[in-house]
Chains A and B, each alone.
Chain A
Amino acid sequence: MDIHDFYDKMDRDNILLSFKGDITAELLTSILQIIESKMDNMQEEPKLKKKVYIVLVELLQNLYHHMDDPSMASGSANDASRTAIFMIGKEQQHYNVITGNYIKNDKVTGLKKKMDDINALPPEKLKEHYKMILNNGQMSDKGGGGLGMIDIARRTGKPLFYQFTPINDAYSFFTLNIVIEQ
């Protein structure tokens, strides 16, 4: 691996932090602390800082709960299915957050539909949808039962840009790109 190429690429894309590996609770805490202090150093506008922070929390915890999912780990083709990639960069006035993780093929259609449904809703409908799921949705013992994606779309006011790359019979790679503006 040419580390200088890698450096150049990160520099070009204004990457503040990137990580590939197992997502643990301790790691999430560290990433959030690093990004928070970086934004403090850049004297980021408080409102944008808050928005970036809470969107990061949702994205990282989505990854974390996937790592935790035994259905992802058991019988997996390789250990890679337990790891994820995370990147955050800043270009001019907006932040770019990209996450990537393996997902079982049988979950792709459901997740895709969920995101398409969210992307199709105008802001005021998104708010109603959020309240409806909050009040009626089943809470899993891991999280908000699908509220995370709605919250991200609601806070950023932008569509969820996603991609699924087929890997093999069992897995695809799921990439999510979130843009956060003032």
Chain B
Amino acid sequence: MEIITIESTPKTPTIKFDSKKGRLEIKGRSIPENSVEFYKPLVESLEQYASSPNSPTQVDIQLEYFNTASSKCILDVLKRLESIHRQGNQVIINWYYEEDDEDMREAGEDYQAIVNLAFNMQQVEIE
């Protein structure tokens, strides 16, 4: 088991995944041209993680912006978490959005409607 740490860039978010602790954090902007390539390491290690996951797995997603190319990849990540949940493991999703950012709140609700996972919608103050 490993720890993934990807530092943020102007186009990509910080990603921290500690499979031992069952903690995943995605934070920042996600607007890369090649989103599939960017999310590949995370998707692959979630695939591995699914064979012996922690319970609970805690996921914190705090995105400022994301492009539609990333939206598919984020769904991919959430679907992997959903299958971990389906195996009987607890998965906690915290979806953070800045106050006033209705689009980001709505994006969280959209995901919640697609995957069978409960989201904790967390409003944060504008930095």
Binding site for B on A (CB under 8 A): 25, 28-29, 32-33, 46-47, 50-51, 53-54, 57-58, 61, 64-65, 127, 130-131, 134-135, 139, 141-145, 147-148, 150-151, 155
Contact = CB atoms under 8 A, between A and B. Distances in A.
B89 interface: no
A58 B67 contact: yes
Contacts of B100: 46-47
B33 A64 contact: yes
Contacts of B11: 29
B77 interface: no
Contacts, number: 70
Interface in B97-127: 100-101, 103, 106, 110, 113-114, 126
B69 interface: yes
Interface in B46-79: 65, 67-69, 71-72, 75
A57 B31 contact: yes
Interface residues of B, number: 22
B36 interface: yes
A143 B100 CA distance: 28
Contact of A143 (B10, B65, B68, B103): B68
Given A32-B31, A131-B110, 6 more contacts: A51-B103, A139-B36, A143-B68, A144-B68, A144-B71, A147-B71
Nearest to B33: A25
Nearest to B113: A131
A135 B71 contact: no
A32 to B, nearest CB: 8
A83 to B, nearest CB: 17
B23 to A, nearest CB: 26
B69 to A, nearest CB: 4
Contacts of A141: 34, 36
A155 to B, nearest CB: 7
Best-buried of B68, B69, B110 by chain A (most CB within 10 Å): B68
Given A25-B33, A46-B100, A46-B126, A53 B65 contact: yes
